[in-house]
Amino acid sequence: MQRAASACLYEAACSGCTPFFLGVQIGVRTPPLSSPLSVSILDPKRFKETAQSPVKTMWIDACQKEITNMKDKDVYKLATKPPDKRLIKGRWVFKIKMKTNGEIAKYKARFVAKGYTQIGGEDYGDAFSPTGKPTSLRIIIAMAAIFKWQIEQMDAVAAFLNN
């Protein structure tokens, strides 16, 4: 059975199983509990869930990599909290990155600040977050096509940690 499918569509190889989308059935029949497809791959919501996971070492390695990236980029420094200031708490966000064939590419962990707890004027003055616009990218691609420029795509690890 050939199908054009997204990266997270799993083709069931066992008998009596139908393809399903991350645990949500798209066929007529639900896979049996003995099937490897009966357990969907879900991203942990809390750090506690990663500690109870059968692949907890992968999650710990991902957390360690994030901490190392933050240390290498001098994202933070330890300091004593002034008595008149509030702390902004943080949390771990976990994501399983998949390959196009449905295999797990990597376990990714990010530590993020709970920015929604901040109070404007008290915790911060101005907010500035420069981002590119899709139209700007289209113009660059169009110019590259007109002038026959070579375009290369790249990915920066820990891109948001670079100032």
Bridge partners, 107 (sequence order): 96
Residue 98 structural domain: 43-118
DSSP element (H, E) containing 59: helix 56-72
| Segment 147-158, tens digit of pLDDT | 999 988 877 766
Our count of domains for the chain comes to 2
| Segment 8-33, tens digit of pLDDT | 333 333 334 444 444 444 444 444 44
Secondary structure of residue 51 in the 3-state scheme: helix
Place of tokens 């376990």: 107
Does a structural domain hold residue 81?
yes
pLDDT for 23 equals 41
| Segment 65-122, tens digit of pLDDT | 999 998 888 888 888 988 888 888 889 999 999 888 888 899 999 998 887 777 777 7
Statement to judge: residues 53 and 88 lie in one domain:
yes
Q: Tell me the whole-structure pTM to 2 decimals.
A: 0.54
Does a structural domain hold residue 154?
no
Q: How far is CA 133 from CA 129, 138, 155, in A?
A: 12, 9, 18
Does a structural domain hold residue 67?
yes
Q: Which two tokens stand for residue 56?
A: 């907890």
Residues 6+ apart with CB under 8 A from 93: 109, 110, 111, 112
